[in-house]
Amino acid sequence: MSPLPLPQLPQHYIDQMKQLLRQEADAFLHSYDSQRAYGLRVNPVKWERHAAARNLTMRQFQLRSVPWCEEGFYYNEHSRPGKHPYHAAGLYYIQEPSAMSAVALLDPQPGEFILDLAAAPGGKSTQIAGRMRGEGVLIANEIHPQRAKILSENIERMGVANAIVTQADPHTLAAKFPMAFDRIMLDAPCSGEGMFRKDPGAIEEWSPDHVEACAARQWDIIQAAVTMLKPGGTIAYSTCTFNRRENEDIVDKWLAAFPEFRLAGTERIWPHLAEGEGHFVAVFQRTPAGEGGVLEHYAASHSVRPSAKSKGRRAPGRSERGTVRTADVHASFRHFEAWADEHLPGLALPSGTPLLFGEELYWLPQGNAAAMAFLNGGAALDRLRVPRAGLHLAHVRKNRIEPAHALALSCITGEQAALTLQAAADDARIAAFLRGEAIALTSDSEPVRAKGWMLVTVDGLPLGWGKASDGMLKNHYPKGLRSL
């Protein structure tokens, strides 16, 4: 299949790339005439546990390994993995192959306290979470409300139990979390030159002035980011653009302004040299000893002064919608525990504490001692917009528990539930479930008399909840996710 015709590339952009690449410029510009690569990145924990689904995915989508990411694969364009039930079950995430390089170089580890500062739509956050393997705490931040909502949905779909989604500007977070994080991912908003082939609309937005505006914005975000990295920590700065102004020039400015950082390495992926749209990554490490002037530099240039401690302690459950008494939080959680003992006996929550927002019960992850100190039982979330305060456990309604969709997807296998509906990917019941339809429960043409909450699984992968009664399964798949 030949690529779709692109709008005319701006002459300023062509001149820029010729100056940057010189003798390679023609090959680079001709890459726009080639078909782009398509990629997906698997969820490591579920991928390892579900051999049948893994083998079917490899065959059906004709997967080939992405060389710079061990959990990344190229897929056949026409196979449409995003329409398969495994996608809804969080077995994999559709992601441009070049973009997988940044987290691979950041090298997150289980048990760490990690920040993804500009996280939407969630490709890098879910990749970080996969490498953390449910241990530690990930804060995924996105300032724009609609994009933060999409980020939350993708983290939920991938079954991540140890992530908190915040919606804040970087400087607000810097005041909350000075020198807090072991690693930070900063996939900076950029001019999107690597998006031209994927999104031709990005061509129309490009201009030299736009590049300069992006560089200025990147520098502003960096000044907040560096204050949040602990001594000895690692930060990866990445863009999906090609010009030096947003890449090497930013690196040079960074090292000049913050000598306590050293450059651990850079990587560029070019679309004329590799299968991908292109990416730039620079990895910095902060010296282990001392603050080195970062906080002083930040306080001198910004009105918000970072503080290592929150004033006062936040009662669990307090939000912009009001305050929930601590006793109510614990009563709701005990009620949930009784429900889980009956319906989800294999539930294994990470280290954390319950939070209650109105009728919504969450499990706030706590992680290591450093993360626990900064989160302070949820106090650090005060006066922040928090679309997802950890794992959504349940809706608590008049002493009645309705398990959250996120809880189903956080399960690794259907064996964790007391009741399961097990079906193959091509079973008509799976398509009906994803459409929101009720399902008849039969075995050898006889109705199944099971009663209670049932976990629906596709080839063993948890997909969502239904409630069984009188031989029927009432569908609780979220209305906003249902297929037509």
471 is in an annotated binding site: no
Q: CA 107 to CA 114: how far, in whole Å?
A: 11
Distances (CA, A) of 126 to 120, 269, 425, 454, 470: 10, 21, 23, 27, 39
Which one of the listed residues 69, 190, 240, 411 is annotated catalytic?
240
Q: CA 246 to CA 481: how far, in whole Å?
A: 37
Distances (CA, A) of 221 to 218, 331, 435: 5, 41, 42
Nearest CA to 198 out of 329, 38, 364 is that of 38
187 is in an annotated binding site: yes
Q: CA 165 to CA 187: how far, in whole Å?
A: 16
142 is in an annotated binding site: yes
In the numeric block, the tokens 């653009």 are attached to 241
209 is in an annotated binding site: no
Assess whether 240 carries a catalytic annotation: yes
| Side-chain-side CA neighbours of residue 182 (13 Å) | 19
Residue 266: how many CB atoms within 10 A of its CB?
Answer: 15
Angle at 431 between CA 426 and CA 436, to 5 degrees: 160
The answer to whether the CB of 224 falls within 8 A of the CB of 170 is: yes
DSSP code, position 13: H
The answer to whether the CB of 268 falls within 8 A of the CB of 68 is: no
The answer to whether the CB of 384 falls within 8 A of the CB of 166 is: yes
432 is in an annotated binding site: no
In the numeric block, the tokens 């798949």 are attached to 477
Q: CA 40 to CA 94: how far, in whole Å?
A: 4
The answer to whether the CB of 128 falls within 8 A of the CB of 106 is: yes
E-state strands within 246-301: 261-269, 279-286
Give the containing element (helix H, strand E) for 428: helix 428-434
Q: CA 77 to CA 474: how far, in whole Å?
A: 36
The CA radius of gyration of the chain, in Å to the nearest whole number, is: 24
90 is in an annotated binding site: no
pLDDT tens-place values along the chain, 484 residues long: 445 455 689 999 999 999 999 999 999 999 999 989 999 999 999 999 999 999 999 999 999 999 999 999 999 989 999 999 999 999 999 999 999 999 999 999 999 999 999 999 999 999 999 999 999 999 999 999 999 999 999 999 999 999 999 999 999 999 999 999 999 999 999 999 999 988 888 999 999 999 999 999 999 999 999 999 999 999 999 999 999 999 999 999 999 999 999 999 999 999 999 999 999 999 999 999 755 556 555 555 555 444 333 333 333 334 433 445 677 899 999 999 999 999 999 999 999 999 999 999 999 999 888 899 999 888 889 889 999 999 999 999 887 999 999 999 999 999 999 999 999 999 999 999 999 999 999 876 556 778 999 999 999 999 999 999 989 999 999 999 998 6
- What contacts 482, CB < 8 A, 6 or more positions away? 434, 435, 436
267 is in an annotated binding site: no
Q: CA 94 to CA 76: how far, in whole Å?
A: 12
The answer to whether the CB of 291 falls within 8 A of the CB of 179 is: yes
Distances (CA, A) of 185 to 55, 113, 118, 359: 32, 12, 8, 33
Distances (CA, A) of 74 to 40, 56, 99, 279, 419: 6, 15, 13, 16, 36
Helices 208-227 and 294-301 pack at an angle, to 10 degrees, of 120
| Sheet with 452-458: strands ordered across | 420-423, 452-458, 461-469, 472-475, 439-440
> What amino acid is encoded at 116 in this protein?
D
119 is in an annotated binding site: yes
